[in-house]
Chain A
Amino acid sequence: MTVITYREACKQALRAALVADPRVFMMGEDIAAYGGCYAVSKGLLAEFGAERIRDTPLSESAFVGAGIGAAMAGMRPIVEIMTVNFSLLALDQIMNNAASIPHMSGGQFAVPLVIRMATGAGRQLAAQHSHSLEGWYAHIPGLRILAPATIEDARHMLAPALADPNPVLIFEHVMLYNVEAELDERIDAVDITHASIRRAGTDVTVVTYGGSLPRALAAADTLAAEGIAAEVIDLRVLRPLDMTTVAASVARTHRCVIVDEGWKSGSLAAEVCARLVEMVFYELDAPIARVCSAEVPMPYAAHLEQAALPNAGRIVAAVRQVVRPA
């Protein structure tokens, strides 16, 4: 077992993919010479050359479109969009081409494209650079949306994503890159279909994903000291949602708190909540609670930014209300 960062796990995944399959290549803004905005691809240019590690112009629509074309033509492109904030410029390509072409071509064209992007707030990048829009992408049929929250998932989700004939979007939370943990070398693959119970508990199910997982686990520690056993579920796959795992957990605990860094209105948290009501209404012993970001453009000031984001304290408070209503 070795302790590595989430960033290093992402890099190892990229490197392994490049080694394993000559059809794999990367492109994106500043990924080659600079090594990537978050230094994930640092060193890959030297190892794999400019043919496979390609810097692109600052035109998301163009290079995402190029990636779609390459995938349709038989390549296995890994496109990095620096952050989800800029992905809106490529939204038409992602939604109207990548997600739609396999369907509209009657299956004649697969789009085995992987798009990686950073997401989330917490680094004082203010309102334009702090979005958590993975929930928007999870709205779109034809896409598979992944949110690796652990070192293990960061290391191993890429391979099955590349193997998927449909476009897969991988969202890496900016606050996770520096997180360190042991990588279990005995594990060499993960699935990209199931949610995972990161901590077992009996009193309440805390559903979360991505950058909110460490907050939820910290909250569970605090709650355990109060005698509340929280089960923490990492969704991992935001589309298609593995509601079987979530609903089974809620059927056991009878209570649920959903933690999502997105805004509450029309959020992924709203979707999970609605599906739980559809699936396990009669198992619920308390209203489902959600801990989401404040519905404001993300503030720049550090204390305001932190106040706007879900944190362990807010999760603890929400769980207390659900488990021990006043």
Chain B
Amino acid sequence: MPSLGPDMESARVIEWLVKPGDTLHRGDVIVVVETDKGAIEIEVFEDAVVEALIAPLDAELVVGAVMARLRVAGESGTDARAVAATERVEPTVSSPAPAVAPAPPSAVIAQDSVGTPAASSAVASAGHRRASPAARKRAAGLGVDLAGVSGSGPGGAVLLADLAAVSAPRVKRAGGFDAAAMRRVIGAAMARSKREIPHYYLGQKISMASALRWLRQANESRTVEARLLPAVLLLRAVGLALRRTPTLNGFYENGAFRAGDGIHIGWAVALRGGGLVAPAIHDVDKKSLDELMTGLRDVVMRARGGALRGSELVDATVTVTSLGERGADTVLPIIHPPQVAMIGFGRVVERPWAVAGQVEVQPVIGVSLAADHRVSDGHLGSQLLADIERLLNAPETL
């Protein structure tokens, strides 16, 4: 069970998306877990073959617990099995289903010397999930795919007990989070931020006239679905600007700054029903506006549908919040630890704006920066905001 944030202690397995024998490639989503941030998809980090799913559905696993056994290329199956024999999940908190070690291939009911039925020998043909008839019936009634259920019966057969925890169809991924729990998590993270991080704040007003003009033109040649939103310009501008101020992009851990391995911007998404989450959009400085637009749409939709990936929760090196059309003019961000900076955009409003000695009405946006004084100073922060302004004034360079 990977850590999906500094505040995460455990998560509940709610859906296995792979089964033993499946071939995986780096980045494939293999399991969905429920955290305080909703249902999160966990990806695999290596090319591998699934040897066994160890964590039973509904088990609450602490961070670090073994969820499944994979065999990476070149590793022999028997070795992997041997390692696994010592690995047993210790489900914590509330695990209704028993933790299951790899079952022996077959277990024959005690038989008389004559007429021993061979029926219980492991006749699980390829692609046929072993399960008792009763388990099959109940799984069908619950709408549960047996492939994702780890079996405690002979030869790994799924028995009724293995389904005992499965009380409802596992399609509660829409908004599948506990708002109160999320509020507690947000509270804990923000309290830590306020307690530990010496914030400094900078703010600036930027004209969006050039950017929006350019955007209108750019969208004329795009289909409705492919049209760019102003937000993607803000995102891209921050990504490019951070290239020149790498000390605002990274983490403060163990008393030292560690630069991010890329510019992965956590984009704050307000969730319907309350709460927010800031999934990472990776390598913002290396992606085109169209790629970013697609990525932004995707991540916002999945964040609201409760289907984020684990890497999206942990990879962000900096956070951006954009309040959008109905937001306030200015946001004073609170840094999400262990990050060291957060950039906030207010709504775009029409304001008098001086241009070449004349006052014009122009669309204006307030951008603000909260940064960690243990890592950087206002001088550097000012440079970031200046770069953002410069980029937004030259949208063709974005």
Contact = CB atoms under 8 A, between A and B. Distances in A.
Given A281-B133, A282-B136, A287 B110 contact: no
A326 interface: yes
A209 B351 CA distance: 94
A4 to B, nearest CB: 36
A292 interface: yes
Contacts, number: 59
Given A254-B160, A326-B104, A284 B132 contact: yes
Contacts of A178: none
A114 interface: no
B109 A254 contact: no
Interface in B121-146: 132-137
Interface in B141-188: 153-154, 159-161
A322 B153 CA distance: 10
Nearest to A284: B133
Contacts of A322: 109
B119 interface: yes
5 contacts: A285-B160, A287-B109, A321-B110, A325-B154, A325-B159
Contacts of B191: none
Given A283-B134, A284-B134, A285-B134, A317 B110 contact: yes
A14 B115 CA distance: 41
Interface string A284-300: 11110100101100000
A265 B116 CA distance: 11
Given A284-B133, A287-B119, 13 more contacts: A254-B132, A281-B133, A282-B136, A283-B137, A284-B132, A285-B133, A285-B134, A295-B113, A295-B115, A318-B109, A321-B109, A325-B154, A326-B107
Interface in A6-65: none
Given A254-B160, A282-B134, A283-B134, A264 B107 contact: no
Interface of B: 104, 107, 109-110, 112-115, 117, 119-120, 132-137, 153-154, 159-161
**Residue of B109, B115, B119 with most partner-chain A CB within 10 A:** B109
A77 B125 CA distance: 59
B110 A294 contact: no
A283 B136 CA distance: 9
A326 B104 CA distance: 8
Given A285-B160, A317-B110, A318-B109, A264 B134 contact: no
A300 B120 CA distance: 34
Contacts of B161: 285
A45 to B, nearest CB: 44
Contact of B159 (A264, A283, A286, A317): A286
A264 B132 CA distance: 24
Nearest to A316: B110
A164 B18 CA distance: 62
Given A254-B160, A326-B104, A286 B114 contact: no
Interface residues of A, number: 21
Nearest to A292: B112
A317 B112 CA distance: 12
B110 A254 contact: no
Given A265-B114, A294-B114, A285 B135 contact: yes
A125 B136 CA distance: 48
Contacts of A285: 132-135, 159-161
A314 B109 CA distance: 11
Contacts of B119: 287
A320 B251 CA distance: 56
Nearest to A310: B112
Nearest to A322: B109
Given A282-B137, A326-B104, A264 B160 contact: no
Contacts of B117: 287
A197 to B, nearest CB: 20
A265 B114 CA distance: 9
A325 B113 CA distance: 20
Nearest to B137: A282
A321 B120 CA distance: 12
Contacts of A254: 132, 134, 160
Nearest to B131: A285
Nearest to B120: A287
Given A286-B132, A287-B119, A287-B120, A294 B112 contact: yes
Nearest to A314: B110
B114 A283 contact: no
B100 to A, nearest CB: 12
A286 B133 CA distance: 8
B133 A282 contact: yes
A247 to B, nearest CB: 13
Interface string A251-263: 0001000000000
**Residue of B112, B119, B161 with most partner-chain A CB within 10 A:** B112
**Residue of A264, A286, A294, A325 with most partner-chain B CB within 10 A:** A325
A292 B112 CA distance: 8
Interface string A306-326: 000000001001100110011
Nearest to A290: B112
Interface string A235-270: 000000000000000000010000000001100000
A284 to B, nearest CB: 5
Nearest to B161: A285
A283 B110 contact: no
Contacts of B134: 254, 282-285
A254 B107 CA distance: 18
A276 B110 CA distance: 20
Contact of B133 (A265, A283, A321): A283
B159 A295 contact: no
B112 A318 contact: no
A325 B137 CA distance: 20
A231 to B, nearest CB: 16
